[in-house]
Structure 1
Amino acid sequence: MIAGYDEVSALLADPQLSLDKRHACDGYTGFALPPALDRNLLNMDGDQHNRIRKLAAPAFSRRSVDDLRAAIGRIAGAVFDSLSEKDGETVDLLDELCVPVPALVLGELLGVPADLYPHLRDAAAAMFTVDTSSAESRQRLKAAIDWLTTTFADLVAAKRADPGDDLLSGWVRARDDEAALTEDELVSLAFLMMLAGLENAVHMCGNIIAALLDSGDAAAAVAAWQSRRGELMEQANPSPFAIRRFPIADLTVGATTIPKGDTVLLSLIGADSDPARNGRRSLMFGRGPHYCLGAQAASLIVDAVVPELFTRHPRARLAIPAAELTYRASWRSHGLVALPAILAP
């Protein structure tokens, strides 16, 4: 694990560190995904990665930022309208705000039916909290992977039979008409964009809201949102590490030599917290060719959810002491199990 800002910043963009687990020499297997889910951007480098990234990027590019912001605002507004009916009640803000907004946004972009969202959240939880020493946890992971594989393969088949005006239909056309993707790459791309986008946005919002409810600083944070948002997002980052990497040759970092093929974790939270950072840009969303495709969408979702919650419900408070909030047991993702709050009228 590497945590210094200078080292992490350099290594995030270093071609000597590969994301392709075929370069692993230390027994790394990860989730052992089937090919239909494994041929995704988090297991690719170079020309392969660039080819698929170019197909995925337009959904999150600056050219569509106004449309994306408008769609997120519309969806968040509808979710908040439903939430307002529960003034005075205890609600789970994770379930009733932090999950539905990004799920509906990503689902609308990709063309994923809304009835799948609860199952997607459960599958994400099974993956990010897997305990390989527990037979029960391994079985949950296997069931989640089987469901994800079947679901996204079926979704691709449905779009092929009845295409719509969504990204997944466009990717199906790119697969069938232009041979721009293999079938495994197509299914893997849909899986990654939906699951990773949902996971990060949900827990970024949840972690920020929990911190503000605990601190009593919500009113001041909302009043100075544009100047405070970056700091709050960094502190709430649900991704402690960048995706694992493997040196393609022996790699020297400081006084340490990392053997070829060892598993390397770059600590994003460690780097952003390093005093040597000295005001330089956050590495929360990575750097270089693997910079997070969904960074802009995640930021827009946070902007639509967090300040609006405290604008509409300035007296919202936690329903239990902050010390009793339960976080998922996971080194891969820092996120809450639930966020019970009272929306005081």
Structure 2
Amino acid sequence: MTSETTGAATGVETLPDFPMTRGCPYHPPAGYGRLREAGPVARVRLFDGRTAWVVTGYEEARRLLIDPRLSSDRARPDFPVLVPRMAAAKLTALVGMDPPEHDVQRRMLIPSFTVKRVNGLRPAIRRIVGERIDAMLAKERPQADLVQEFALPVPSTVICELLGVPYADHEFFEEQTRRMVLASSTAEEAAAASAALMAYFDELISVKQARPGEGLLDELIADRLATGELGRTELTSIAMFMLVAGHETTANMLALSVLTLLVHPEQLALLRADEGAAAGAVEELLRFLSVADELQRVAAADIEIGGVVIREGEGVYLPNAAANRSAEVFPDPDRLDIRRADRRHLAFGYGVHQCIGQNLARAELEIALYELAVRIPGLRPTEPVEALAVKPGGSVQGVYRLPVAW
């Protein structure tokens, strides 16, 4: 972490840089602890020299996530960005909107992600997971990159089946997603990737209008686009958001979950011994890992909280990896305990923007982690944790590769 050199004579404020990168894949950046020492709400400096606020306090984060004075509207000129590519990626559906527009789109999608609807998908998810494990076990050599051969294709296949997107196109949209979400991507690269995905979905909508199929996208075309409730650009934006969010975060969460369990073998043994422990294991891993970190907002009015006043137009970041390691809420927060009873984590956000796909993500993680633990009991990493490159701050947290053997 770097900061500007300042002194009392200059009157210039010394601020830590944000975002911060993890040193260990499954622990928050060390800088979060230093921010917490400064109070539950602390000021930081962004890449472009602008300042913003970072909320590390759990209670303060929960209060702000339901405060209507914080805006998620990414079209606002004062909306803070962590890296240049964020504005260019144009992931604005749902996550980048405020009520009432946000509420209209969310109501359209909620029926497809209810617990009942997701439970109906569990047999298909189990089949997909089983096929990927079969492919790994059929390899001539008992080794694999778990990211490329399991953690990425499982959620990619699931979201394709849910949306009605051809999985044959997965290499294309996975590559475009990487260009959009990686903090190392330039704004030009992110914009080009976003435009490519929008064009892809625009063409796919035309194909489905001519030859309707089964999937959420087909339902939205018939029930919303044809009736005029959704415009074509709105629908392409929603489809792109669901595809990107539906596989990118879950893939990173799955890879990091496996890594974390492998380096906590006593926790992995608890999971392997009891499928009923899978739900609790997933909740604890969601808290512990918090891969969808750095929720961002902009103040639409002055807000007094945590001993500071956030002024209208100032950026606010709410890293759930900090809130979810709060000792006041989670005793011994840096210890992984899949039997932990408290599930008040903020890994899926909180309030009106709470992740709409959380039930689906939970189902995928529960099934994938348990099946992998039972069917490949000898699974082990072939490189030490410190040798694995972690994704930088400002992106979904994860590792680029996870070499394993069995």
TM-score (norm 1): 0.90
User: Could you tell me how far apart the structure 2 residues matched to 1:198 and 1:77 are?
Assistant: 18
SS in 2 for 1:32: helix
Aligned residue number for residue 364 of structure 2: 301
Deviation at 1:48, TM superposition (A): 1.0
Q: Which residue of 2 aligns with 1:187?
A: 236
Q: Does 1:165 align with 2:217?
A: no
Q: 1:119 to 1:233 in 2, by over 3 A?
A: same
1:31 aligns with 2:94: no
The amino acid that maps onto 1:149 is M
Deviation sequence 1:27-82 (CA, Å, 0-9, x none): 75763348xx5551112111211111111112211231321222211221222222
User: Where does residue 334 of structure 2 map in the other structure?
Assistant: none
Compared with structure 1, are the counterparts of its residues 277 and 161 closer, same or farther at alpha carbon in structure 2 (3 Å cutoff)? Answer: same
- Determine if the alignment matches structure 1 residue 288 to structure 2 residue 356: no
User: Which residue pairs with 2:321 in the alignment?
Assistant: 269
1:63-212 mapped onto 2 (5 Å cutoff): 63-86=116-139, 88-131=141-184, 137-212=186-261
Q: What CA deviation, in whole Å up to 9, does each residue of 1:164-197 have, x standing for no partner?
A: 1211011112343321112221001101111011
In the superposition, relative to structure 1, how do residues 168 and 26 fare at CA in structure 2: closer, same or farther (>3 Å)?
Answer: closer
Residue 277 of structure 1 aligns to a residue whose secondary structure is coil
Distance in 2 between residues matched to 1:173 and 1:258, nearest whole Å: 44
Which structure 2 residue ranges, 5 or more long, are not aligned? 1-53, 331-341
In structure 2, relative to structure 1, the CA distance for the partners of 1:102 and 1:38 (3 Å cut) is: closer
Could you list the runs of 5+ residues in structure 1 that have no partner in the other structure?
Answer: none
3-state SS in 2 of match to 1:21:
coil
Return the letter of the residue paired with 1:254.
G
* Paired position in structure 2 for 1:219: 269
Deviation at 1:206, TM superposition (A): 0.3
- Aligned partners of 1:209, 1:280: CA distance in 2, in Å? 20
Query: Relative CO higher for 1 or 2, CA cutoff 8 Å, sep ≥ 6?
Result: 1
* Alpha-carbon shift at residue 337 of structure 1 (Å): 0.5
Greater per-residue helix proportion: 1
Partner amino acid, structure 2, of 1:32 = A
- AA at the equivalent of 2:163: L
Structure of greater Rg: 2
Deviation string, structure 1 residues 3-40 (Cα, Å, up to 9, x no partner): 11101111111111111134443675763348xx5551
Q: Name the amino acid aligned to 2:87.
A: A
Measured in 2, the distance between the counterparts of 1:248 and 1:30 equals 23
Instruction: Render the CA deviation track for 1:222-277: whole Å, top value 9, x for unaligned.
Output: 335344332123222211222x2111111112221112122211111111111222
State whether residues 282 and 362 of structure 2, in contact with CA within 8 Å, keep that contact through their aligned partners in structure 1: no
Question: What is the percentage of aligned positions where both structures have the same residue?
Answer: 29
CA RMSD of aligned residues (A): 2.1
Alignment partner of 1:5 is 2:58: yes
**What is the TM-score normalised by the length of structure 2?**
0.77
Instruction: Give distance in 2, aligned partners of 1:245 and 1:339.
Output: 33
CA, structure 1 residues 49+168, in 2 after alignment: closer, same or farther (shift >3 Å)?
same
Q: Aligned equivalents of 2:80 and 2:72: distance in 1?
A: 15
Deviates more, 1:181-190 or 1:276-285: 276-285
What's the secondary structure of 1:246's corresponding residue?
Answer: strand
Within the alignment, does 1:40 sit opposite 2:40 as a pair? no
1: CA distance between counterparts of 2:201 and 2:329?
Answer: 41
Summarize deviations over 1:299-319 as a string: whole Å, max 9, x none. 111111112112111111112
For the structure 1 residues 27 and 208, does the alpha-carbon distance in structure 2 shift closer, same or farther, using more than 3 Å as the test? Answer: closer
1:316 to 358, 362, 379: 379
Task: Give the deviation of 1:139 after TM superposition.
Answer: 4.0
1:144: how far off? Answer: 1.6
Question: Once the 2 structures are TM-superposed, how far is the Cα of residue 328 of structure 1 from its aligned partner?
Answer: 2.1
Secondary structure at the counterpart of residue 264 of structure 1 = strand
> Which amino acid is 2:396 matched to?
S
Following the alignment from structure 2 to structure 1, what is the Cα–Cα distance between the partners of residues 80 and 349? 25
Count of residues paired in the alignment: 336
